[in-house]
Amino acid sequence: MPIATVNPANGETLKTYEAMGEEELERRLQLAEATFRTYRTTAFAERARLLNRAADLLDEDAPEIARVMTTEMGKPVKQARAEAAKCAKAMRWYAERAEGLLADEEPAEADVTDSGGSRALVRYRPLGPVLAVMPWNFPLWQVVRFAAPALMAGNVGLLKHASNVPQTALYLEDLFHRAGFPEGCFQTLLIGSGAVDDILRDDRVKAATLTGSEPAGRAVAATSGQMVKKTVLELGGSDPFVVMPSADVDRAAQVAVTARVQNNGQSCIAAKRFIVHTDVYDRFAERFAEGMRALKVGDPMEEDTEVGPLASESGRDDLEELVDDARRGGATALCGGERPQGPGWYYPPTVLAGVTREMRVHREEAFGPVATLYRAADLDEAVLLANDSPFGLSSNVWTRDEAEVDRFVRDLEAGGVFVNGMTASHPAFPFGGVKRSGYGRELSGHGIREFCNITTVWHGA
């Protein structure tokens, strides 16, 4: 795949870039290693000052970098600005809290005495250069939610971004440079996916994090396993959105629209499978389809556009194949389901009813504005349907019955359960999944500690 900016609204190639050669990669790896030796000893106050400065610059740059993101991957420009603001917020959150999150921990005195020691503590120390393999769908946020905690922990970052967002990738390196971080603290590697394996095998790279597809995650995990390196993987998701009879059905249907089409439906944590109790199924289905049908699809640079194009032509082809397969198998499109005419990689908001286990869309992630609708006879069937997926990233549950809430929290196979609201990421809460959605956690204290050497320090009596 070429490293290029291709506008998904019209298919026009705007900029192309040459992949970095071996000599430049070697220079950058040497720089990362050398920078880490000194940056790791900087005080938290200094790291926080630099990260807060990066947040201030990002706020200033938000209008322009939002337009760059929209040009590169097609999200509505209003959502792109919100993404930039979210990144600045996360930077400030970690700048303020990292020192406390990584403070030395003292075991109970009785345990220290029992160990035969006089004093002990647990200290969090940085690992070194960390490779981040990142996707195009949230081209700023996915990177910042790694970079902010990693830099505050004293690590340095190497970014291999998706090949269709090179301008955003280069902006990120420039942002941290302008903020005053030492040269080498955060570097963008303009390389193809084929070069990732060699970098993972380099002894100077101490760990890796990947957000992306399951095949990409398997490849990074396999190589990192061979090299015995720590990894965090956030892969696909096909999140359930369960609606029970006690729920505010109209509100649930309204939120369901946003939960499905945020970021043009290209979000791992977007709700994708809508599982509705039979008692409220018809009402929900009608409201949901009405809401999806009413969305404005169009030029993502327009302020009132709610759904823009998919990021790539191949992505639209994949989505269309899933819909066509389901319809051949007997599913019904309550709205959408037909590729529009004209330029750009658009696909209409679509609701598929009558989906069965035999259809591809039941077990594969639909990465675009396509929702699947299921009818559940009772709570037990709702749980079974929700868990009938190879993925387990997050989940949404709509009910006013606390006993049902307890059951869902206990039994849903997911990294998150959001009750009476849509899944969203926030720097204060751990983010990640189970099953084929990956392992490890980003954000919160859990995320900043993922790339730390958790060190026991013990003193004899």
- Map tokens 């970052």 to a residue: 157
Phi-psi region of 24 (alpha: psi -120 to 50; beta: other; left: phi over 0): alpha
Give the SS3 label for residue 191. Answer: coil
Residues counted in the chain:
461
- Which of 55, 161, 79, 72 is CA-nearest to residue 424? 79
Whether residue 72 contacts residue 167, with contact meaning beta carbons closer than 8 Å, is answered with yes
Strand segments, DSSP code E, in 354-433 are 370-376, 391-392, 396-398, 418-419
Measured at the CA of 103, the angle between CA 99 and CA 109, to 5 degrees, comes to 165
In 3D space, the residue among 260, 271, 279, 280 whose CA is nearest the CA of residue 418 turns out to be 271
In eight-state DSSP terms, residue 179 is T
How far is it, in rounded angstroms, from Cα 300 to Cα 307?
A: 7
Look at residues 212, 24, 202 and name the one whose alpha carbon lies nearest to residue 128: 202
Chain mean position to CA 95 = 21
> How many CB atoms are located within 10 Å of the residue 227 CB?
14
In Å, the largest CA–CA distance within the chain is 78
Grouping H, G, I as helix, E, B as strand and the rest as coil, residue 362 is: helix
Pick the catalytic residue: 185, 268, 335, 452?
Answer: 268
Rounded-to-integer distance, Cα 307 and Cα 296, Å: 6
Contact 271, 260 (CB under 8 A): yes
Residue 263 φ/ψ region, left for φ over 0, alpha for ψ in the -120 to 50 degree band, beta for the rest: left
Neighbours of 232 (CB within 10 A): 22
As a whole number of angstroms, the distance between CA 368 and CA 351 comes to: 11
Ordered DSSP codes for 264-305: GG--TTSEEEEEEEHHHHHHHHHHHHHHHHTPPBS-TTSTT-
Q: Could you give the CA distance from residue 405 to residue 428 in angstroms, rounded to a whole number?
A: 22
- 306 catalytic residue (yes or no): no
268 is a catalytic site residue: yes
Q: Are 125 and 460 in contact (CB under 8 A)?
A: no
Among the listed residues 83, 173, 234, 365, the single catalytic one is 234
Of 95, 212, 198, nearest to 142 by C-alpha is 212
- Catalytic residues, which ones? 234, 268
